[in-house]
Amino acid sequence: MAKKANIRYLLASLILILSLCLGSGCFYVEAPPSPPPSPPPPDVTAPTNPDWTLPPAEGQNPPLPDFISVVAKVKPSVVAINTEVVTYDIFNRPFTQEGAGSGWIIDKDGHIVTNNHVIEGARSITVTLADGRTFPAGIVGADALTDLAVLKVDSTNLPAVNIGDSSKLRIGEWVLTIGNALGMGITAKEGIVSRLGVSIQVSSGQTLYDLIETSAPINPGNSGGPLVNMAGEVIGITSVKLAAVEVEGLGYAISSNTARPIIEELIQKGYVVRPWLGVVLRTVEQWLVVRYELAVDKGAFVTEVASNSPADKAGLAPGDVIVSLNGTETATAEDLIQAIHSSEIGQEVKITFWRGDTKNTTYAILAERPPP
């Protein structure tokens, strides 16, 4: 009897250890090395239209009676996007990697809105409509800073979705995400608006602003799909989620009001016009302070200055640390980028910077950012 008890005790101990191991994440997968730069994206398949404008925001449609009605109205306008990207293994051998995302039809002529990160670096892009038809797609324009892109397929009379006014959203309002979750086809998930006007830094030098936080599940493949209200209007473009242990219901969408002018410029010009100083920046960190013997421990460190740019004409040089623009402190590279984008093309700005142990002031006239 004692022997059987010992066996039962050992089995129970093993089960407990295994449970603790699984719960605490004892299994690790080594991250693959960073791949080299991807090849350029596909060519644009159609010229941009300088006269193209979005229709007025809806906001006047009455709420539909239930989720079924919302999905029936919006789903025909949602597309699945599949991409092929050339990447490299640890032996620097190229191989093709497939990706999946979502998008939505913004006009009957075949313009489709999605996220920039869905199509960035893609060698080929394929769009599948709700009725099963598949088309190759070209990139009309993309903007990495706002994570938005517009594609074009060669088809007409497509079912375009209505765009709503995101400024009318209220916390607690029902919303739906509709998209190509996990690359398994178009699905719909419900949730509420949890928070408004959220800003999230998604990478060094890139922060997304005026985001809508939602409890509606956002899974891989949902990126670029619409977040819609109960009137069946697009009030956001699903973009990012926070994924961590014990974190649930924190998905984010770019608000429709933020996206509207970006989408219009992408279709009209193929790129977004912004003020330009002509510098490449990085945030001052401790190793930069030590490496370059900087006199300050915060600011925007200049790594490159474009020839004949406003910064070049103002006398800025690599190694300078910009600490304010027009009297507003720029403690990070992101602070300076945001300050520049909040200014106007042709505006003269006052720049305070450190060069070695000397604090200096100069003035620059911001120019229009050159086309990509």
Let me know if residue 66 belongs to a domain.
no
Give phi and psi for 170, each to the nearest 5.
Answer: -130, 145
> The pTM is what?
0.73
Distance of CA 249 to the CA centre of its chain: 18
Do 179 and 127 share a domain, yes or no? no
Do 86 and 120 share a domain, yes or no? yes
Let me know if residue 2 belongs to a domain.
no
Please identify which of the residues 77, 109, 117, 320 carries the catalytic annotation: 117
- Mean pLDDT check: name the lowest of 50-64, 90-104, 225-239: 50-64
Position 220 scores a pLDDT of 85
Let me know if residue 54 belongs to a domain.
no
Position 295 scores a pLDDT of 93
Do 257 and 302 share a domain, yes or no? no
Distance of CA 284 to the CA centre of its chain: 24
Do 352 and 327 share a domain, yes or no? yes
Please identify which of the residues 77, 102, 143, 147 carries the catalytic annotation: 147
Let me know if residue 29 belongs to a domain.
no
Do 309 and 256 share a domain, yes or no? no
Q: What is the CATH number of the domain that holds 309?
A: 2.30.42.10
Contacts of 315 (CB under 8 A, 6+ apart): 362
Give me the mean pLDDT over the 254-279 stretch: 93
Please identify which of the residues 102, 166, 194, 223 carries the catalytic annotation: 223
The predicted-structure confidence for 294-339, as pLDDT tens digits, reads as follows 999 999 999 999 999 999 999 999 999 999 999 999 998 888 988 9
Position 31 scores a pLDDT of 38
Q: Is the pLDDT of residue 238 over 50?
A: yes
Helices (H) and strands (E) in the chain, counts: 7, 22
The predicted-structure confidence for 347-366, as pLDDT tens digits, reads as follows 999 999 999 999 999 999 99
The predicted-structure confidence for 16-44, as pLDDT tens digits, reads as follows 444 444 444 333 333 344 445 555 556 65
Do 254 and 169 share a domain, yes or no? yes
3-state secondary structure of 282: strand
Do 261 and 309 share a domain, yes or no? no
Do 288 and 238 share a domain, yes or no? no
- Residue after which a domain boundary falls, among 269, 285, 317: 269
- Mean pLDDT check: name the lowest of 32-41, 66-75, 202-211, 276-285: 32-41
- Residue after which a domain boundary falls, among 120, 152, 184: 152
Closest by CA position to 325, among listed 333, 372, 288, 317? 333
Q: Give the tokens for residue 241.
A: 């989620």
Do 169 and 230 share a domain, yes or no? yes
Number of structural domains (the chain) is 3
Q: State the pairing for strand pair 148-152/138-143.
A: antiparallel
Known catalytic membership, residue 147: yes
Do 187 and 245 share a domain, yes or no? yes
- Residue after which a domain boundary falls, among 122, 152, 182: 152
Known catalytic membership, residue 341: no
Do 121 and 191 share a domain, yes or no? no
Please state, in angstroms and rounded to a whole number, the distance separating the CA atoms of residues 267 and 371: 14
Its domain, for residue 230, covers: 162-269
**DSSP string covering 34-81, please?**
PPPPPPPPPPPSS---TT--PPPP---SPPPSSHHHHHHHHGGGEEEE
Let me know if residue 146 belongs to a domain.
yes
Let me know if residue 1 belongs to a domain.
no
Position 244 scores a pLDDT of 53
Contacts of 57 (CB under 8 A, 6+ apart): 163, 164, 165, 256, 257, 260
Residue 113 pLDDT grade (very low, low, confident, very high; cuts 50, 70, 90): very high
Let me know if residue 241 belongs to a domain.
yes
Q: What is the CATH number of the domain that holds 255?
A: 2.40.10.10
Known catalytic membership, residue 223: yes
Mean pLDDT of the chain: 84
Do 288 and 262 share a domain, yes or no? no
Position 22 scores a pLDDT of 41
Let me know if residue 84 belongs to a domain.
yes
